[in-house]
Amino acid sequence: MNLAQHLEKVARYEALMERLDAFRDFELWVWVAMSSGTNVLNAALHAAGITSDRACYPVRPNRYMVPGASPGTWTQEEGPLGDVLHVDVPAIEAALPTALERACEALRVIEDARDPCVRGLREITPELATACEAAYRDCIEATKPILEERLGGAG
């Protein structure tokens, strides 16, 4: 996906997040926050020139669906790092600017809470929800300077 497509998704996810309560709706909220955070991270990685924003969708690390020869068709291929699926999946081998390291650390907080909470292995508490909300905001804030630099203040 390209940078603009990622940011459009972030806007849609954030509109949904406004209707959710991070504690009461945590199982849904955490998936939406993780998806939104991953999209803003991908946009910032593209903006920083670290990953490719070619027309492709990741299906697993280093495997992408790309437009096929006929309209509306897709084919799978290996390629240079495009979109990441999660923090560190696939691993980003390039050195990250401090802002993107911070965004990854924040997104990791959300990702680390998702599985155990959704599977009932970790109690969902107001404190956990508050920590995940703060991590989400930090991820968004950390990516802003990179996006604004690329988009001329429109990020």
Tally of CB atoms within 10 A around 154: 8
Confidence band (pLDDT; 50, 70, 90) for 12?
Answer: very high
Beta-bridge partners for 10? none
User: Would you state the pLDDT for residue 153?
Assistant: 60
What is the pLDDT, as a whole number, of residue 46?
94
Return the exposure string of 108-118: e unless at least 16 CB atoms fall within 10 Å of the residue's CB, then b.
bbbbebbeebe
How does DSSP assign 53-83, residue by residue?
--S-EEEETTEEEEE-SSTT-EEEEE-S---
Q: How far apart are CA 18 and CA 13, in angstroms?
A: 9
More confident residue, 131 or 92: 131
Write out the two tokens for 122: 């970790």
**pLDDT tens digits for 96-146?**
999 999 999 999 999 999 988 888 899 999 999 999 999 999 999 999 999
Instruction: Give the pLDDT confidence of 45-86 residue by residue, as tens digits.
Output: 999 999 888 877 788 777 888 889 999 899 998 877 778 888
* Residue ranges covered by each domain of the chain: 3-51+86-151
Pairing relationship of beta strands 63-67 and 74-78 according to DSSP bridges: antiparallel
Return the minimum-mean-pLDDT range out of 32-36, 40-44, 86-90, 107-111: 86-90
Q: Please give the structure tokens belonging to residue 114.
A: 């998702």
Q: Return the closest-CA partner of residue 60 out of 103, 88, 32, 90.
A: 90
Question: Quick one: average pLDDT of 11-39?
Answer: 97
Q: What is the pTM assigned to this prediction?
A: 0.89
Tell me the one-letter amino acid at 101: E
Query: CB–CB of 75/83 below 8 Å?
Result: no
